[in-house]
């Protein structure tokens, strides 16, 4: 996994981490990666992984990995307790994110350290930690203003990486989860100068991750990748494509009750978003 990040960093692209909780979303993500010959990360949050089942998603990913020969990484997104991290590790996830960002710094640091020890014992070589205050959830919400005090403190980030030995770090640089209900409004611009400050402080000690990328201005994402972001997380835009196309499919075919006849247009809509993001992140043909 870390080889994939290293290669991405050297070649100035990022790997997309796409959230999924059911078979149609997984199909869409894998087909997009296959079409564009791209490595991908499939992320499941606590809720998503509880819905699909951790062992079940692991089995599906294994089959697709064998069939496609692609680098497909299964990642736990925003694990909030040691228990959920343990469950993911036991199920065979390749990579885990412990999100203690809402905890006091010292508590986040102490639990993240334990996560690293647990993960290493099972041969997992990507533990993602998080510091800084990331607002919102992966849904449509009112516009949010990001405050300077929400941003990841570069000195704290450096201490956190050194003491926990995480491989990657989710940072707050103006990014927020979710998108504005008023879809004419983009999310706020990223604080790219702040990303430069984090880079100066931490050097190559950890890979940097951008959460909450749905609805973020594309030019900002490109610049953040040029400044060393190697993993970009997308969820809300996929959820939106899924539900909008499902509603349309149901409305257009009121007599149809056969799920596999209603779902192809949904898979296609989600796949189109994933393909667009893979091209934006520059991981196609890599």
Q: Catalytic amino acids?
A: 77
Q: How far is the CB of 95 from ligand 13P (least distance, A)?
A: 12
Query: Between the CA atoms of 224, 272, 66 and 258, what dihedral angle is there, to the nearest 10 degrees?
Result: 140
Q: Please, what's the b/e burial string for 151-171 (b: 16 or more CB within 10 A of its CB; e: otherwise)? A: bbbbeebbbbbeebbbbbbbb
Polymer length in residues for the chain: 286
Element (H, E) at 128: strand 127-131
**Backbone angle region of 66, left / alpha / beta, with phi > 0 → left and psi within -120 to 50 → alpha:** alpha
Q: 31 or 233: whose CB is closer to ligand 13P?
A: 233
Q: 37 or 133: whose CB is closer to ligand 13P?
A: 133
> Per residue, what are the HEC states of 188-227?
CCCCHHHHHHHHHHHCCCCEEEECCCCCCCHHHHHHHHHC
Q: How far is the CB of 66 from ligand 13P (least distance, A)?
A: 27
Q: How far is the CB of 190 from ligand 13P (least distance, A)?
A: 13
Residues lying near ligand 13P in the complex (CB under 6 A): 19, 77-78, 138, 177-178, 211-214, 233-236
Q: 200 or 275: whose CB is closer to ligand 13P?
A: 275
Q: Cα 104–208–153 angle (5° rounding)? A: 40
Three-class SS state of 276: helix
Q: 77 or 158: whose CB is closer to ligand 13P?
A: 77
Q: How far is the CB of 23 from ligand 13P (least distance, A)?
A: 20
Q: 11 or 244: whose CB is closer to ligand 13P?
A: 244
Cα separation, 273 vs 49, in Å, equals 22
């Amino acid at each position: 996994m870390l080889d994939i990040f290293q290669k991405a960093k050297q070649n100035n692209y990022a790997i997309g981490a796409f959230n999924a909780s059911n078979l149609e979303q997984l199909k869409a993500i894998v087909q997009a990666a296959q079409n564009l010959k791209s490595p991908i990360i499939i992320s499941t949050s606590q809720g998503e992984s509880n819905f699909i089942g951790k062992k079940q998603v692991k089995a599906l990913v294994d089959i697709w990995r064998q069939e496609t020969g692609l680098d497909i990484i299964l990642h736990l997104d925003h694990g909030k307790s040691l228990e959920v991290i343990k469950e993911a590790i036991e199920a065979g996830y390749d990579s885990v994110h412990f999100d203690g960002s809402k905890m006091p710094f010292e508590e986040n640091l102490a639990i993240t350290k334990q996560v690293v020890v647990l993960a290493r014992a099972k041969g997992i070589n990507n533990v993602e930690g998080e510091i800084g205050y990331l607002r919102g959830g992966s849904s449509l919400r009112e516009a949010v203003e990001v405050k300077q005090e929400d941003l990841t403190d570069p000195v704290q980030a450096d201490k956190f990486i050194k003491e926990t030995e995480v491989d990657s770090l989710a940072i707050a640089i103006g990014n927020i989860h979710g998108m504005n209900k008023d879809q004419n409004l983009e999310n706020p611009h990223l604080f790219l100068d702040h990303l430069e400050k984090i880079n100066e402080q931490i050097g190559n000690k950890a890979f940097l991750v951008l959460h909450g990328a749905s609805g973020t201005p594309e030019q900002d994402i490109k610049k953040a990748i040029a400044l060393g972001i190697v993993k970009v997380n997308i969820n809300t835009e996929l959820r939106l494509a899924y539900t909008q196309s499902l509603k349309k499919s149901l409305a257009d075919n009121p007599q149809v009750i056969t799920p596999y006849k209603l779902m192809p247009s949904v898979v296609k809509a989600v796949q189109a978003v994933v393909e667009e993001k893979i091209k934006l992140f520059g991981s196609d043909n890599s």
